[in-house]
Amino acid sequence: MSQPQHDVSLASVYQARRRIAGQAVRTPLVRSHALSERFDAEILLKLETQQPTGAFKLRGAANMIAALIERHGRDALEAGVVTASTGNHGRAVAFAASRLGIAATICLSRLVPANKVAAIEALGAEVRRVGESQDEAFGEVERLVSERGMTLIPPFDDPLIAAGQGTIGLELMEDAPDLDRVIVGLSGGGLLGGIGAAVKAIRPETRITGVSLTHGAAMWESLQAERPVAVEEVASLADSLGGGIGLDNRCTLSLVREVMDDHYQVSEVAIAHAMVDILEHEKLLVEGAAAVGLAALAEHGIQVRGQRVALILSGNGVALETLDRARAMCRR
């Protein structure tokens, strides 16, 4: 059998868990009484909102930085690390780098909300606002890598990043080994791909369901085209799901193709209702990308009756004005 192009294995996920201990935390998997009653199923919420940076991204960033130090020594990162981000990955890189005394530069498009920018700056990282899309921000990253010798910590398209996110899958299988379905937001594919790689290796019959935006779903469009494609990035309540997958994608496209069983696209109205529902019934403040699993259940009527289903609440980086906009959409 040929080696998978993505090179993400269960062994690499276990290695990631060892590396990130002490930076990322093991997050709770809790039963939602309200959602379980509503969908006549056991709905479990994976609270990545409880990570020190408020989102799952810390797992991948911490794993990659630690792995690079293991392989090449600390001096290899002397010029600092750099990335482009829609917010959460930048905060994760800034946090992991600061804990190790490594300089970090985070390049962000002007679509990234101000609250996420402030959170990154508070960790001591240099922030550069460049362009109107994540792809444009990556142009600045490439310049800094070329001219200053900085080390790129990509937001998703690397086996080390995906393996770090895959540690969520290990925790799911340990806490709920008979899961029928995991519903995950899909953007660059590191989160879904990593979780799927771990879960499928342990329990192949568990379904991995991806959820994308209705507009600007780069990974889904690329899967349909069977090659990476560029899409127009649009503003969304689920801003963390924006951005392309890279026209030279070398890891996550093949990984997602391998592990994802089905896929749904959700509207802004559905995301708004899901954000508000989670706040009102679970008393959890989540960003739009964290609410898309519930949005898909509600908007598409996914049949989960009698099943055990995990929703990945991926992050809590939501600005109050965004929450106000979601509430206003629910009142229309």
At residue 132, the pLDDT reads 84
Selecting among 12, 32, 57, 133, the annotated active-site residue is: 57
Q: What is the pLDDT of residues 275-304, one digit of tens each?
A: 999 999 999 999 999 999 999 999 999 999
pLDDT score of 2 more than 70: no
Please choose, from the candidates 296, 312, 90, the residue with its C-alpha nearest in 3D space to the C-alpha of residue 192: 312
Q: Which long-range contacts (CB under 8 A, 24 or more apart) does 78-82 make?
A: 79/103, 79/148, 79/149, 79/150, 79/151, 80/104, 80/105, 80/148, 80/150, 80/151, 81/105, 81/150, 81/151, 81/152, 81/153, 82/106, 82/107, 82/141, 82/144, 82/145, 82/150, 82/151, 82/152, 82/153
* Calpha distance 221→187 (Å, rounded): 11
At residue 1, the pLDDT reads 30
Please choose, from the candidates 229, 170, 171, the residue with its C-alpha nearest in 3D space to the C-alpha of residue 201: 170
CB crowding 263-294: b at 16 or more within 10 Å, else e? bbbbebbbbbbbbbbbbeebebbbbbbbbbbb
311: amino acid identity, one letter: L
CB half-sphere exposure, 2, CA atoms < 13 A: 3
Average pLDDT in the chain: 94
Q: What is the pLDDT of residues 194-251, one digit of tens each?
A: 999 999 999 999 999 999 999 999 999 999 999 999 998 888 999 889 888 989 999 9
Q: Is 32 a catalytic residue?
A: no
* Calpha distance 60→57 (Å, rounded): 6
Q: What is the pLDDT of residues 5-33, one digit of tens each?
A: 668 999 999 999 999 999 999 999 999 99
Q: Average pLDDT, stretch 258-264?
A: 98
User: Exposed, middle or buried: residue 103 (CB in 10 Å: 0-12, 13-18, 19+)?
Assistant: middle
* Calpha distance 332→167 (Å, rounded): 40
Q: Which two tokens stand for residue 54?
A: 């408020």
At residue 5, the pLDDT reads 61
* Calpha distance 256→297 (Å, rounded): 20
Q: Which two tokens stand for residue 295?
A: 């949005």
CB crowding 45-77: b at 16 or more within 10 Å, else e? bbbbbebebbbbbbbbbbbbbbbbbeeeeeeeb
The one-character DSSP state at 128 is E
Place of tokens 């997958």: 245
Q: What is the pLDDT of residues 164-194, one digit of tens each?
A: 999 999 999 999 999 999 999 999 999 999 9
At residue 90, the pLDDT reads 95
Q: Which two tokens stand for residue 142?
A: 């490439």
Enumerate domains of the chain plus CATH numbers. 10-54+162-331 (3.40.50.1100), 57-152 (3.40.50.1100)
Q: What is the pLDDT of residues 26-65, one digit of tens each?
A: 999 999 999 999 999 999 999 999 999 999 999 999 999 9
- Dihedral of CA 70/46/260/213: which sign? negative
Q: Is 57 a catalytic residue?
A: yes
The one-character DSSP state at 265 is E
Residue 31 φ/ψ, nearest 5 degrees: -80, 135
Q: What share of the chain in percent tops pLDDT 90?
A: 86
Per-residue confidence at 3, pLDDT binned at 50, 70, 90? very low
* Calpha distance 68→95 (Å, rounded): 16
